[in-house]
Amino acid sequence: MSNFWNPLIKQLEPYIPGEQLDDPAIIKLNTNENPFPPSPKVLTAIEEEAKTKLQLYPSPTVDELREEIGNYYGLKKEQVFIGNGSDEVLALGFMTFFEPGKAIKYPDITYSFYPVYAKLYQLDVDEIALEEDFTISPESFFHSEGGVIFPNPNAPTSLYLELEAIEAILKNNSDQVVIIDEAYVDFAEKSAVSLIDSYPNLLVVQTLSKSRSLAGLRVGMAMGHPDLIEGLNRVKDSFNSYTIDRLAIAGAIEAFRDTAYFEKTRKEIIATREYFRRELEKRRFHVPPSQANFVLASPADIEAEKLFTELKQAGFLIRYFNKPKLENYLRISIGTKEQMTKLLHAIDSITEK
Ligand code: PMP
């Protein structure tokens, strides 16, 4: 704490990301990264760009990537915004669409960056309790004062909300922006992107960090009505014209072109998740039905925190949130089948002791 900080900065409580340990011996299942490397075509595109273009500024409007994503989803480039990871997109979204004095709604168990942004922008919040089984009751998100945000699938619960429920939330917040954070949607049923042309108040946020194996490249996007996208660009261009570097643009374009690699790795993770979930259930864990690249799991025969600590000692990094309602849950990212099998063996040797 320093007296040079302004009063707002003094009372901030920054987000704490999951640990990033570089030790290759550790099986890292704590930040929902993809266990597979990016498509080889992405790496070639990045290399080519690095060799020939780094002396030049990147495009401030990122048109080529916006067009590529537009083609993928059947949208115009005016309906697509690009940011430096979806965290940045979310931060800009909070600033553009939400305002102090009008409470925004988000679930009480959700992505822990939302309360951080709310504090940063001095927003009022109306935290909505999830149901006992962690599901979202759509009605509780109706008629917000200042807007709505939640992930779908929600994090860290992993549960997916059907598009009909999202439509009901959109209809009952027609004067407010509803942000659906789809960081994990490629592991789930359907994206809400299909609703964009019907709902001018819908902003869908996605990332290349999870399903496209590019957490290290930092690319995220928002899709919605051109007026929403223009608002985001106004804010972005008021603090930094070049948030996306040349390597990120080149790699991201190729990630959207190589649909075969994307489909293959995505399906493999979904299959491994189902395998892992069944195996955990055999071991008497409670595991809500995940539609993400992680599961939330509660062990019956050992305290979650104890299992977390012992797994760490055994070389497995997963996530434990010491938070109300989640005290006895662990969040485990889905790695390769081999990694998940090793984790199951480690769980067995800890619980059989
Ligand atoms: N939204 C949710 C729900 C997340 O879990 C994450 C990953 N921590 C993000 C957004 C941000 O991802 P990124 O900034 O890597 O795009």
Instruction: Tell which of 226, 241, 257 closes a domain.
Output: 257
Provide the Cα torsion 55, 61, 62, 67; round to 10°.
Answer: -150
- State if residue 280 touches ligand 1 by the CB under 6 angstroms criterion: no
User: Is the pLDDT at 127 greater than 80, yes or no?
Assistant: yes
pLDDT for 226-269, tens place per residue? 999 999 999 999 999 999 999 999 999 999 999 999 999 999 99
Instruction: Tell which of 257, 282, 314 closes a domain.
Output: 257
pLDDT for 295-332, tens place per residue? 999 999 999 999 999 999 999 999 999 899 999 999 99
- Tell me if 4 is assigned to some domain: no
- State if residue 86 touches ligand 1 by the CB under 6 angstroms criterion: yes
Q: Are 289 and 328 members of one domain?
A: yes
Which of 164-200 are b and which e, b meaning 16 or more Cβ less than 10 Å from the residue's Cβ?
A: ebbbebbebbeebbbbbbbbbbbbbeebbbebbeebe
Q: Are 149 and 26 members of one domain?
A: no
- Report the CATH number at residue 329: 3.90.1150.10
Query: Residue 1 has what pLDDT?
Result: 83
Q: Are 276 and 179 members of one domain?
A: no
Query: Residue 19 has what pLDDT?
Result: 79
Question: Which among 164, 172, 250 is positioned nearest to 208, based on CA atoms?
Answer: 250
Place 210 in a pLDDT band, splitting at 50, 70 and 90: very high
Helices (H), ranges, 74-158: 85-97, 113-120
Average pLDDT of the residues of the chain: 97
- Tell me if 1 is assigned to some domain: no
**Domain interval for residue 76:** 40-257
Q: Are 216 and 228 members of one domain?
A: yes
- Report the CATH number at residue 138: 3.40.640.10
Ligand 1 geometric centre to CA of 87 (Å) = 6
- Tell me if 194 is assigned to some domain: yes
Percent of the chain's residues with pLDDT above 70? 100
- Tell me if 11 is assigned to some domain: no
- Specify the residue for token string 């690249």: 293
Token pair, residue 221, equals 């996007």
> Rounded distance, CA 51 to CA 117, Å?
37
Q: Are 152 and 234 members of one domain?
A: yes
| Cis before 200? omega within 30 | no
Query: Residue 352 has what pLDDT?
Result: 85
User: Is the pLDDT at 69 greater than 90, yes or no?
Assistant: yes
Q: Are 204 and 242 members of one domain?
A: yes
Q: Are 87 and 226 members of one domain?
A: yes
Q: Are 51 and 168 members of one domain?
A: yes
Instruction: Tell which of 257, 278, 293 closes a domain.
Output: 257
- Tell me if 2 is assigned to some domain: no
Q: Are 193 and 297 members of one domain?
A: no
Please identify, by atom number, the ligand 1 atom nearest to the C-alpha of residue 220: 16
User: Is the pLDDT at 353 greater than 80, yes or no?
Assistant: no
Please identify, by atom number, the ligand 1 atom nearest to the C-alpha of residue 86: 16
- Tell me if 16 is assigned to some domain: no
Place 211 in a pLDDT band, splitting at 50, 70 and 90: very high
Ligand 1 geometric centre to CA of 289 (Å) = 20
Q: Which three-class secondary structure state does DSSP give residue 319? A: strand
Query: Residue 23 has what pLDDT?
Result: 84
- Tell me if 14 is assigned to some domain: no
pLDDT for 152-209, tens place per residue? 999 999 999 999 999 999 999 999 999 999 999 999 999 999 999 999 999 999 999 9
Place 50 in a pLDDT band, splitting at 50, 70 and 90: very high
Ligand 1 geometric centre to CA of 183 (Å) = 6
- Taking the CA atoms of 89, 220, 157 and 161 in sequence, report the sign of the dihedral they define: positive
- Tell me if 139 is assigned to some domain: yes
Q: Choose which residue among 88, 111, 186, 295 to substitute to test ligand 1 binding: the one with the highest number of ligand atoms within 8 A of its C-beta.
A: 111
Within 8 A by CB and 6+ apart from 125, the residues are 103, 104, 105, 106, 115, 118
Q: Are 167 and 281 members of one domain?
A: no
Q: Whose C-alpha lies nearest to ligand 1, atom 2?
A: 183
Ligand 1 geometric centre to CA of 312 (Å) = 23
Ligand 1 geometric centre to CA of 31 (Å) = 9
Within 8 A by CB and 6+ apart from 171, the residues are 199
> Rounded distance, CA 350 to CA 242, Å?
49
Q: Are 90 and 150 members of one domain?
A: yes
> Rounded distance, CA 89 to CA 153, Å?
18
How many domains are contained in the chain? Answer: 2
Ligand 1 geometric centre to CA of 76 (Å) = 24
Percent of the chain's residues with pLDDT above 90? 95
Query: Residue 32 has what pLDDT?
Result: 97
Query: Residue 17 has what pLDDT?
Result: 85
Q: Are 44 and 32 members of one domain?
A: no
> Rounded distance, CA 34 to CA 28, Å?
10
- State if residue 211 touches ligand 1 by the CB under 6 angstroms criterion: no
Question: If residue 112 lies in a helix (H) or strand (E), which one and from where to where?
Answer: none
